[in-house]
Structure 1
Amino acid sequence: MKTAIILAAGSGTKMWPFAEVRPKAMIPVANRPIVWHQVELLEGLGFENIIIVGGSKAEQIRHCFRKDTHVKVVQTQPDKGTAFSLLSAKPLVQDSAFLVLYGDTLLDGADVERMIARFEAGPYEALALVDPLKEELPQDWICCTLSEDKLDQIMGHPRRPFTHRFCAFAFADTFWPYVETNSGLFTHVQVGTMPPLEGFLEMSVADYLQEGNVVPAVEAKGLFLDLDKPWHILTANQRVAKLQCDRLTDHILGEGASIHPSAAIDGFVKLGKGSIIGRNVVIKGNVIVGDHTTIENGAILGGNNMIGDHTYIGNYCQVSAGSVIGHKCIVTHCAEISGMIMDVVHLSHYLEFYGIIGSHTDLGAATVCGTLRYDDRYTMHRVKGRREYPREHANASYMGDYARTGVNAILMPGCKVGIYSIVGAGVIVEEDLPNRTSIYQKQELVRREWGPEQYGW
């Protein structure tokens, strides 16, 4: 098996505001797009023909892989469904068998290897890699149950407990008729559930099962992350940063990189070409730093951090454990950051932020976000009108790309700010701010005479 197809045509509306200026598959995890991690995994397994099916912003994916001869990018109609996205790749598939991944997931290479080995031990026409739901709610996913390591039932967003969700598939070319005849409607739902008019690949697999065919299932044992909503980005960055930092067993210094003797490092660092850890830096764990980045002047890093290229971190700022900083960023002047910031973000002057900051965003002096509520509970979110109760990062703030804040702006727990938006000086954001919006305070002044006579003169 040498061909893999990555389905990345969805519009990512549940990921607002982070899939507005980029495809969902291009959202960064550990400073690389999600789909970049998938391509790296596939190339490591020897795949020579990798087809990425993109949607309305497929040009960005094509640009990302413009120098990779193993990757071809095709564009299809967005939101028509994964089955029809897969059909868009068919003309480029020459092999008798192929792998299918989703463009918004991260997988463990060992799980994919086990999946391929099981498929090739067949012969099979279809095989699924599935992930145990554990604490995930079945209502959030297209789910399945297993019987003796084979798919038993498939159900879309069910109420009652189903055990697994889908990670990836392997198909023989004899499976194409089930994709080509997909009805465009997911009918395997419980009464009262309302499926969208969309051609899901899992429905083609369900049709195949319903005809009495067998679909073996391999259960994922390693990392599997399906990024569906904004807080999933934070979870993915933290987990991938920890996995990569945990691999360090010694300092690794690129050409021209250096560590000042006054730096206190309780762990190991990997520094890219020309990067510097300067005076009085404190690092409380392992850290990976890109090229030509400077960390100096009393900066404090909590460990399991990944820092991009051409970034400056200094002047007694604090980067919390597990945080990821993008390329060409500035974090300085006692700024405190916990979470993940994308490329070209400027943070300075005593601000404090927990959450995600989109690219090309700057926060004014003393901008802060609320992280705790007076009732000690977690914030309820609305995603496409549906109430959501995240298990992680519910009280984080989410700043879209190309946004700005003025001095002393406050973002309350869980609030999101859309792209191309401005939060004016002194504004308290208590609800989500739409894209392309400027919000500012209009103050009322009281003026009266004053002078020495007020003091008895």
Structure 2
Amino acid sequence: MQAVILAAGEGKRVRPLTRSRPKAMIPVANRPIIEYVIEALVKNGIRDIIVVVGYRKEQVTRFLNQLDVPVEVVVQNKQLGTGHALQCAESKIRDNFLLLPGDNYIDPNSIARIMDIPNSMLVKEHPNPSNFGVVMLSEGFVSRIIEKPEFSPSFMVSTGIYSFKKDVFSYIQENDLTDAISSMIGDGVQIRGIPADDWQDAIFTWDLLKMNKRLLHNLDPAREGTVSRQTIIQGSVRIGRGTTIGPNTVITGPVIIGNDCTIGPNCCILPNTSIGARVTLEPFTCIGEAIIMDDTSIGSHSRIVDTVIGERCALADHTSTCTESGLIEIEGIAARSEFGAIIGDTVKSGPFTVFKNSIIGNNVTIEGQGSLKSRYIFDNSTVI
């Protein structure tokens, strides 16, 4: 069986992290999201995989070329929608196939449920259905899809994962795949709605923290670095090659730490934390419920919780992120959020900076000794 993975979009609501990478390439539990999708397909014996790339296609292609699984790449030159992206792969499709987004996590069991049922889709209840295509079911079949309604009549949403016959292409007239499915239903084609076991999507940047927490639960512990005898490790913890953990550091899993990091001494790493490669945590720093990407350094006496930090950031000593709820405008919509901070790539902040429910763009410089609460700081800004 064939599978088509759509990985051509940017993911604008996940900015600033997608300014320099497609959403499908954001690392969660130290692996790009798209890798989990490919892994779920392979576990079901599906190795004929086509990936549609577009936005920053070189990054995705370079990663795919490193995999053990041969993947065919198709380019969508202009990001015109999911229907158009699927059409780009039409010439490669021979028969029935699966269609999946490259920026969502899906478990292998859910794919097993749908792969042998043509004209079906995976559905899942979600507490915020208005961010998705809301699915109305009648006797197990899809009767209607309402795309991102302001007032949702149901909590059941589409995961964007489908099993199609090849004749679906005859229904794609517009750029949006939802319109094609609506046309199929209008013509009397029955689309079965199959409940997914485990599906995770990050609509906004802070949703990555929930996805990270879920994926770390599958973590296999391993210790390849150098760990001080005075270090206390509890739970599932993976430590990469070349990493040094200083004395009197306490790590409570699930936690993953990449290669060539320097941690401590006297640090505390709490559960549900992912630390990338070549990260430095200076002494007396505490981190929990966080994603820290490659080549970032965090100064001493800092406290980082409920936070995503991009690559090559340098946060000075006594930096704090505090979990608070608030409203932040994302793509013209006021979104209710609750997190510490979302920090883009190459951000520098001075000592005694406090972040509360704030999003910091890429290449931002913050002088320090200030508090940022429910703020969105745009790329290349300087905060005095």
TM-score bracket, shorter-length normalisation? over 0.9
- Inter-partner Cα distance in structure 2 for 1:407 and 1:292: 28
Instruction: Tell me which residue corresponds to 1:424.
Output: 367
Conservation of the 8 A alpha-carbon contact between 1:309 and 1:327:
yes
Alignment pair present for 1:166 and 2:158:
yes
CA drift at 1:78: 4.4
Counterparts of 1:281-320 in structure 2 under 5 Å? 281-320=231-270
- What amino acid does structure 1 have at the position aligned with 2:156? H
Describe the SS at the equivalent of 1:35.
Answer: helix
* 1:345-360 → structure 2 map (5 Å cutoff): 345-354=296-305, 355-360=307-312
Q: What does 1:9-408 correspond to in 2, within 5 Å? A: 9-68=8-67, 70-93=70-93, 95-117=94-116, 119=117, 124=118, 126-133=119-126, 136-158=127-149, 159-167=151-159, 168-179=161-172, 181-182=173-174, 199-221=175-197, 223-242=198-217, 244-245=218-219, 269-272=221-224, 275-338=225-288, 339-354=290-305, 355-372=307-324, 378-390=325-337, 394-408=338-352
Q: Distance in 1 between matches of 2:57 and 2:156?
A: 30
Residue in structure 2 matched with residue 448 of structure 1 by the alignment: none
For 1:72 and 1:17, locate their aligned partners in 2 and report how far apart those are by CA, in whole Å: 29
Distance 1:370 1:147 in 2: 45
Larger Rg over CA atoms:
1
Query: Which deviations, in whole Å up to 9, do the C-alpha atoms of 1:178-218 show, x marking residues without a partner?
Result: 12x23xxxxxxxxxxxxxxxx22122111100111111121
Name whichever structure is richer in strand by fraction: 2
Find the residue that maps to 2:314 and give its secondary structure.
Answer: coil
Give the counterpart letter for 2:358 in structure 1. C
SS in 2 for 1:334: coil
How far apart in 1 are the matches of 2:72 and 2:314?
A: 35
**79 and 162 in structure 1: CA distance in 2 versus 1, 3 angstrom threshold:** farther
- Consecutive unaligned residues in structure 2, runs of 5 or more: none
Contact 1:418 1:436 in 2 (8 A): yes
TM-score norm. by structure 2 comes to 0.94
Query: C-alpha distance in 2, partners of 1:418/1:319?
Result: 25
Q: How many residues align?
A: 378
User: Residue by residue, what CA displacement relative to the aligned partner does 1:360-410 show, whole Å, maximum 9, x if unpaired?
Assistant: 1110111222335xxxxx2222211211123xxx13211101111112222
TM-score, structure 1 normalization: 0.79
Equivalent residue letter for 1:71: V
Deviation digits for residues 227-268 of structure 1 (CA, Å, limit 9, x no counterpart): 1111111111111112x13xx5xxxxxxxxxxxxxxxxxxxx
Three-state SS of the structure 2 residue aligned to 1:238 is helix
Check the 8 A contact 2:313/2:348 in 1, yes or no: yes
Deviations 1:157-195 (A, max 9, x none): 22132242122001111221112x23xxxxxxxxxxxxx
Is the Cα–Cα contact under 8 Å of residues 33 and 102 in structure 2 kept in the other structure?
Answer: yes
- Which amino acid in the other structure matches residue 86 of structure 2? L
Tell me the amino acid that sits aligned with residue 424 of structure 1.
E
Distance 2:134 2:329 in 1: 23
Alpha-carbon contact 1:5-1:50 (below 8 Å) kept: yes
Quick check: 1:404–1:422 contact (8 Å CA) kept in 2? yes
Equivalent residues of 2:318, 2:353 under 8 A apart: yes
CA deviations on 1:417-444 (whole Å, 9 max, x unpaired) are 100111113233242110011222xxxx
Structure 1 residues 5, 79: CA separation in 2 closer, same or farther (over 3 Å shift)? Answer: same
**RMSD between superposed Cα atoms in Å:** 1.6
Give distance in 2, aligned partners of 1:176 and 1:80.
Answer: 16
